[in-house]
Every structure is written in C-alpha cells, then in structure tokens.
Amino acid sequence: MSRSSSRLTRRAALVSGASAFAASAGGVFMPYLSRAADRPMLSHGIQSGDVSGDAAVTWARADRPSRIRVDFATTESFASPIGSVFADALPENDLTAKMGLEGLPADQEIFYRVVAQNLAEPTILGEPIVGRFRSAPAGKRDVTFCWSGDTCGQGWGIDEARGGMQGFATMLKHRPDFFINSGDTIYADGAIKAEVTLANGEVWKNIVTEEKSKPAETLAEFRGNYKYNLLDANVRAFNAAVPILAQWDDHEVTNNWWPEEPLTRSEHKAKKYQDAYVTGMVARAGRAFHEYMPTRTSSIEPGRVYRRISYGPLLDVFMIDMRSYRGPNGANRETSYGADSYFLGPQQIAWLKRSLKASQATWKVIAADMPISLNVVYDAAAKFGSEAVAQGDPGVPLGRELEIADLLSFIKRESVRNTVWLTADVHYTAAHYYDPGKAQFQDFDPFWEFVSGPIHAGTFGPNDLDATFGPQLVFVKAPTKEQGQNLPPSAGLQFFGHVKIDGRTEQMTVTLRDTSDAALWSKTLDPGR
C-alpha cells in the first residue's frame, strides 16, 4: 500500500468512527474529512464522582474551546443510551467541564462516553473516551470502597521509571464502588524538582511542569497542580473506572492555613508569597479545586465542600470540611465555645447533626480531612498553636474540642448508631478506638477512627494522641526512628484503607493496606441497632 492510500484509509476511518458515534448518540453533527490536528482532544482523561442511586457527576478537560458531550447507558455498546448531556469547556474554566447525569437506574453498571466538539468548527469531533461506574443500590448488596489522601507531596512527584503513582493501580485491582479522597489532593505549596537523591544513592526522577516548579499563588498555578497529577497513567485509569468523593484540606492552598491568616510565618516568607493574607489564595485555590474535581456544586454556596452522599440503604457518607470555617490556629485552650474555637463552624455542625439524625442508612461514615485526637503543631518553627482539634492537654475539652464534644454528645443523645470516622492527613496508617471509659470527657458512645495515607507522598509520623476523648492506639504503621521522616514512595510505606459492607450481615470490615496490597490489619464491626 502506498503512503497516500494509507493516509486516506486512516482519514476515512476517523471520519467513519466519528460519524458512527454521532449517529449512535442521536447526534446531528456530520464530521467531514479533516486534519487530525483539527480534532479536539480530551487532554487529562475523564472522571466521575459523587455517585448516588440515580445521579452522578462526570468531568473532562479539552485541549481547546469545545462542547463536551456525555452519553450514558447500561451497556458498553451504547445501543440504547439512557440520556445525553453537554457542557462547554471554555478558557475561563481552564477548558474543564462538569456534566451531571440524572435518571440513572439503581444498582447498575453505567457506561459513559465523553467526546469533545470543536466550537470553532462544530462539524469536527474528537476521539471519544469511555468510563464506567456502578450506581448505588436500592436494596442491600455488598458495598466496597477505598480511602486515602496526600498526593504528590514533599517533592515526590511522578517518576515514570518507578511506575508512577502505583497506589492508584493497586486500589483499582479491588474494583471499589468509589474512592474517598480525604484531602491534600494536591500539594500546591510544594515545588517538584527534576531529581531527588535518595538515602541509598539512587535518584528519584520527577516529571516537572512549569506550574509545579514553584509554590502556587496564581489561579493558573493552582490549576497546574491538578493537571500535574493527571499526567500519571495510573491516576487516569483509576479515574475512568472508579468514582471519586473528594474533599480538601490545607495543601490545596498552603500548609496549615486558616481563613484570613496573615502570610507572615517563616515558611510563608521562604515561599515568597506576594499576597499579604491567605484569603485571595483560598479563593483561587477553591476555584481550581471545584474545576478539577468531579464534585456536586451547591446552589446555596458554590464553593462548599461538605455534603452527604447516600450510597444505598447500608451507607451514607458525610464529607466534612475541617478547613474553611475554622477560627485561628491559636493556643486552642478556650473554655467556652466561640469564634476562636470554631473548627467545623456552627453552620456545618448544625447541618451535620441534622443529616446524621435523618440518616436511615445502617452505617454513617464521617469522612474527615484530619484525625480528631492527634496533636499537630500549627507553626513548627515557632513551636506554637494547634493545627487540628487537639492541643495536647489530656483533660476536659478545651478550644476546638468543645465543638467535637458537643457533636459526640448529640450522636449519643439522639441514638445515631454506627458512626465510623475515616481520615488521612498525617502520612501513616492507624486504627483508633475511642473509649469513653478511658476518657476525661465521657458523654459519648464508643466509636472507631481509621487513618490511612499517603497514597503518593512523603511518609511521616507517628503523632502523639490527646487523651481527652479516650483514643486507644490499636494499630499503627509508620516510619521507625531508624528510617527517619519524609520517606519516598519507593520505601513502601504508602497506605490506603479498604472497606467492605456485607449486604447480608450488614457487617463492616475495614482493612488497612499498603500499596503493595499487603493487608496490614483488619477489623470487622457489627452494626448496632
């Protein structure tokens, strides 16, 4: 075959494939013969998220202004699509688009096909990409999911020679119904260098991009951090097959921030931030988070992260936001509840109480971006302040602990059964059992908190526990003193959690795993009535 006939055949195939796609989707576009360069491309894969029994969110990004179209069906052939939706990927949204899918049948595998239409030449369509997810059940069946957090932190980026972000490939093997990304979804404040020399003399070689080469300040730089993670083939494959429930913490903006914080700490000066306060950076970072994560958007508060995801009769997931509504990261020793001791804040606490009380699900998972009783110092250089709930005083609740004490008392008083807390943040994995019999504050029912991460970042820890709520350290896997801190992903101490709820017994089994898929520790919980 000659070169010319070969090119003609390929072009004809492109036209035929695009035409067939338009026809099967009920489209009205008839692509004509064109150069491949004219075809818009989905530049960073596809995602789904916030899946319930009848709805989900899908996401894509184009390489040029485009109309992003999503067709969805219960068969991979798309012979009888359920429906079709579209959104425009425009420069003001960094060419991203989120499309809500509604009217889904419960407990079905849903296939969704995403294609970009060139806005400048609307007869030209790009190559479609197909993803899948399973909608939440209407009845009782087994439900499985994973959780973790902390991605591309402490200078550990994508080293393709080492397999990239292997934790996502490991989680994908479990085929979970969804993944809770527990925050620190990016490290906007952490630059990525081309090479890092390891303790054994080997060299870690990162992919480097312009936006990831310095701490993020501009909207383009925050967006660039999300695009960096999506360069990894493991992440893109995972995103196309597993819905994401995403929340944020501090590193989506900068380390240990609180609203209205002045950027005067020594680490702020070292990063040479131009803003006087963090507030503007939070606004830009929040926009990038919602542009790049497949989250539902609240019509009441468009930037809101906290929400409830119902996944059938056995599970409700309460995604909370421990960052956006807190008071200053001060001494955290107030004796009465007020603005300085806010952590979730009154409005979010009221929502969480209402939602927990109204929940009819067997299990209520509270997906938190920080553990309750681990001591985390706010300003390490100045050795001052509390970053989290606890402050190291093992006595009666003080400061932010007052808010948690009130919430735990409410859960007990209103007989809200089967609450389990899942989190990441501290870069190791652990199981904490909160026992009122061993606590200074005792007006609560016992519960479990499971910690697991990082999924691809430096490994640290462990942290000390504050005894106010009686946490018992049942299991921990963290670096030893001999190993040191900020271990690279290649050291093997990268973690995620896996949860299975049995559809018949309604038992919940939580397994803490590393990214080699070794089961480190497991606990089966019986549902209370």
pLDDT-based confidence at 71, cuts 50/70/90? very high
Residue 452: CATH number of its domain:
3.60.21.70
Please tell me the distance from the alpha carbon of residue 225 to that of residue 187, in angstroms, as a whole number.
7
Cα-Cα-Cα-Cα dihedral of 22, 23, 26, 28, to 10°?
A: 60
Please count the structural domains in the chain.
2
Q: Does pLDDT of 514 surpass 50?
A: yes
Q: Does pLDDT of 295 surpass 50?
A: yes
Whether 152 and 115 map to the same domain: the answer is: no
Whether 48 and 176 map to the same domain: the answer is: no
Looking at residue 298, its pLDDT comes to 85
Question: Strand 129-134 vs strand 109-118: parallel, antiparallel, or unpaired?
Answer: antiparallel
Q: How far apart are the first and last CA of the chain?
A: 73
In the chain, the percentage of residues whose pLDDT exceeds 70 is 93
Whether 184 and 270 map to the same domain: the answer is: yes
Whether 129 and 189 map to the same domain: the answer is: no
Whether 88 and 149 map to the same domain: the answer is: no
Whether 192 and 158 map to the same domain: the answer is: yes
How many Cβ atoms sit within 10 Å of the Cβ of residue 61? 26
Q: What average pLDDT does range 30-39 have in this prediction?
A: 61
pLDDT digits (tens, 9 = 90+) for 239-263: 999 999 999 999 999 999 999 999 9
Point out the domain boundary residue: 134, 156, 178: 134
Whether 130 and 214 map to the same domain: the answer is: no
To which residue do tokens 């909608």 refer? 135
Looking at residue 23, its pLDDT comes to 43
Comparing CA positions, the residue from 253, 407, 393, 399 lying closest to residue 335 is 399
pLDDT digits (tens, 9 = 90+) for 296-312: 988 889 999 999 999 99
3-class SS of residue 88: strand
3-class SS of residue 40: coil
Q: Does pLDDT of 15 surpass 80?
A: no
Residue 350 neighbours by CB under 8 Å, 6+ apart = none
Point out the domain boundary residue: 83, 99, 134: 134
Distance (Å) of CA 153 to CA 27, 88, 185: 43, 32, 9
Residue 126: CATH number of its domain:
2.60.40.380
Whether 59 and 192 map to the same domain: the answer is: no
Q: Which amino acid is at 389?
A: V
Cβ atoms of 167 and 238 within 8 Å: the answer is no
Q: What is the mean pLDDT of the chain?
A: 93
Please tell me the distance from the alpha carbon of residue 134 to that of residue 242, in angstroms, as a whole number.
9
Whether 236 and 211 map to the same domain: the answer is: yes
3-class SS of residue 343: coil
Question: Strand 96-102 vs strand 315-319: parallel, antiparallel, or unpaired?
Answer: unpaired
**Six-digit token string for 178:** 């969804």
pLDDT digits (tens, 9 = 90+) for 334-363: 999 999 999 999 999 999 999 999 999 999
Point out the domain boundary residue: 95, 117, 134: 134
Whether 157 and 122 map to the same domain: the answer is: no
Residue 77 neighbours by CB under 8 Å, 6+ apart = none
Main-chain dihedrals φ then ψ at residue 144, nearest 5 degrees? -130, 145
Which strands make up the sheet holding 83-89, listed edge to edge? 83-89, 66-73, 109-118, 129-134
Q: Does pLDDT of 17 surpass 90?
A: no
Cis peptide before 471 (omega within 30 of 0): no
Helix (H) or strand (E) holding 472: strand 471-477
- pTM of this structure: 0.93
Query: From the DSSP assignment, how many helices (H) and strands (E) are in the chain?
Result: 8, 24
Whether 192 and 47 map to the same domain: the answer is: no
pLDDT digits (tens, 9 = 90+) for 181-239: 999 999 999 999 999 999 999 999 999 999 999 999 999 999 999 999 999 999 999 99
Cβ atoms of 277 and 260 within 8 Å: the answer is yes
Looking at residue 35, its pLDDT comes to 60
Whether 21 and 38 map to the same domain: the answer is: yes
List the domain range (segments joined by +) for residue 110.
3-134
